[in-house]
Amino acid sequence: MRWLCWLCVLAALIDLRAFGLTDLDEGFYASVAWEMRQSGDWFTPTFLNQPWFEKPPLLYWLMVLSMRVFGESEFALRLPSVLFYALTIGLLAWWGNRRLGQGAGSWGALLFAVAPLSLILSRLAITDMALTFFLTLAVIALWEARGLGWSLLGGVALGLAVLTKGPFGLGLVGLLYLWNAKRLHAHGVRFRWVVVALVVALLTALPWYVGVYLQHGAEFFNEFVVKQNLLRFAGGDTAHSVLPLIERGDLGSVLGGVAVYLLFYVVVLWLGALPMVGYVSVLWGHEDDPLRLYLRRWAWLVFGLFTLSFTKLPAYIFPMVPAFALLAGAEIVQVRLRPAASESPSSHKQSGARWVRRVASFGLILGAAVWCAVALYAPLWQSAFWAVALVLGVPLLVFTLFKPAAPPWGRVLGILALLIGWNGALTGYDRLALKPVRELALKPPPYRTLILYRVNPGYPSVQFYRKGYYATSDDAETTLQQMRRTGAYCMTTDAAFAQRAEVFVLAEAQVMGRRFYLTAPRYEP
């Protein structure tokens, strides 16, 4: 069983360079890490040589260390995510088998390893996989807090979570403790060790926070604390907020915005944790076991708080997926051990269980169909034809995990097809949406500046690929003046700018309905 999990990790390691930097955040984080390495300033993250306080520095530090060993490449930038993916799988397998019953952890680890959201985030140079590992370890340590060892480990993990993505992780674990304090202490957890863990977490995280505040003062507080945490939760990140849709005022927009606000993470969980959907009843079923109740509350806490947030990003609820996987793994073991006679329809409770199982089966079939439709999107599989392996891998894996008695070779074949298909899908997306623009950005000589005019600097990670030789501009005349003065090139999506007499078009690319132009200054003879 476990070797299938490590197969997923191996596949992630092998295909890290199969596609360029993709996600906008991945582009920003890669650029910040590259600048940190160039400047040698490990204290203040910068982007375009200006302080960048969107996230704390832990992921940047890990990327810099990785680049020192493996060079400035996609592999080095993404390696920390793969390592945390592997660590999370190992943690779930070990602790789940120890506390939930032999086999429960192994099944949970496998479910986590093959969840679409896990497979995507393990291959991106962003914070979510690291954050999920640290929070999962902190949640486990809180349950085990009966001595100094687990208390110290949990405190360090929680402090590193705060250094990965901010203080919200501390608030989540704090709310989990308050919600479960009575049961935890009845179970044997000692308050003094919880206090020790909190002190260790603060000692781990506060030196950077205090130091950067003393150096940058209000600039850090307003950008990181107010804008990136408080206002983001309240919908201040307009690029990912439902508020602009609701604020349009017409009935359709309001209803659509409310639907997105309430149901966004239902869809994310359904598609992002698809193999577990067959066991979704573990999230609300009556359970006397205190550990399962504890894990269920953690899952609902994460899901509920981010459902309340007006800013929506799929990865926000990812920290609940390990707990969901462990609960589903424990349910699989129970199903496999349950005598056939106990499944005979004889009670209202069993009738309700059959109804839930039918709904879960329908959700699995529909979810598998959605992923198959994604794989069969013509431009995607034409860019990387092996993406169609998803059409085999997703349904087969869903079936073999929902029916644990299915032959093991079915799971092996499904995982192999799934991994090949995901590699194809990500590679196809890169070739379809990002590679043409990246190639345009790399055409100018490395010693010349590339100006981005009406192009997001995080797309497609131009700062990292150009090694700093680029600039941004919001004004056409300013762009033209800089091009004439320095001989800079310009990449733009503005067709009117590309047709001006002062420039000529060196190359262009059509990408996802938009045309990008690479221009150079035209000099009069």
Domain coverage including residue 501: 443-521
Q: Please, are residues 89 and 109 in contact by the beta-carbon 8 Å criterion? A: yes
Distance separating alpha carbons of residues 168 and 147, to the nearest angstrom = 26
Distance CA 132, CA 138 (A): 10
Residue 242 has pLDDT above 70, yes or no: yes
Number of independent structural domains in the chain = 1
This prediction's pTM: 0.93
Task: Give kind and range of the element (H or E) at residue 64.
Answer: helix 58-70
What is the arithmetic mean of pLDDT over 137-155?
A: 95
Strands 489-492 and 514-521: antiparallel
H-state helical runs in 247-377: 251-272, 290-308, 321-337, 348-375
Provide the pLDDT for residue 202. Answer: 96
pLDDT digits (tens, 9 = 90+) for 243-272: 777 778 788 888 888 888 899 999 999 999
pLDDT in tens, 455-509: 876 665 777 888 767 788 889 999 999 999 988 999 999 999 999 999 999 999 9
CA atoms within 13 A on the CB side of 34: 24
Residue 396 is predicted with a pLDDT of 93
Instruction: Please count the CA atoms within 13 angstroms of the CA of 351 that sit on its side-chain side.
Output: 3
Give residue 406's identity as a one-letter amino acid code.
A
The residue that leads in pLDDT, 140 or 401, is 140
Q: What does the block give as tokens for 387?
A: 């993406």
Dihedral sign for Cα atoms in the order 407, 413, 415, 418: negative
**495 lies in some domain:** yes
Pick from 119, 120, 19: nearest CA to 73: 19
Buried/exposed 316-354: b ≥16 CB within 10 Å, e otherwise: bbbbbbbbbbbbbbbbbbeeeeeeeeeeeeeeeeeeeee
Q: Is residue 491 part of a domain?
A: yes
- Round to whole Å and give the CA distance between 134 and 149: 16
The stretch 395-403 carries a mean pLDDT of 90
8 Å CB contact between 387 and 431 = no
In a domain, 517, yes or no: yes
List the structure tokens of 79.
């390696």
Is residue 455 one of the residues assigned to a domain?
Answer: yes
**Higher-scoring residue by pLDDT: 463, 184:** 184
CATH code assigned at 469: 3.40.190.10
Q: Has residue 344 been placed in a domain?
A: no
In which band, very low, low, confident or very high, does the pLDDT at 353 lie, cut at 50, 70 and 90? Answer: low
Distance separating alpha carbons of residues 398 and 365, to the nearest angstrom? 8
Q: Which residues contact 437 (CB under 8 A, 6 or more apart)?
A: 455, 459, 460, 491, 509, 511, 516
User: Residue 522 pLDDT > 50, yes or no?
Assistant: yes
Confidence of residue 375 (pLDDT cuts 50, 70, 90): very high
- Beta bridge partners of residue 515, listed in sequence order: 510
Angle of helix 148-165 relative to helix 128-143, nearest 10 degrees, comes to: 150
Residue 340, pLDDT score? 47
Q: Answer whether residue 438 is part of any domain.
A: no
SS3 of 224-240:
HHHHHHHHHHCCCCHHH
* Residue 209 falls inside a structural domain: no
Looking at the domain assignment, is residue 467 inside a domain?
yes
**Which is higher by pLDDT, 352 or 75?**
75
Average pLDDT over residues 111-138: 95
Q: From the centroid of its chain, how far is CA 289?
A: 31
The 3-class SS string of 407-473 reads: CHHHHHHHHHHHHHHHHHHHHHHHHHHHHHHHHHHHCCCCCCCEEEECCCCCCCCHHHHHCCCEEEE
Residue 184 has a pLDDT of 92
341: confidence class by pLDDT, cuts 50, 70, 90: very low
Mean pLDDT of the chain: 88
What pLDDT is stored for residue 321 in this prediction? 97
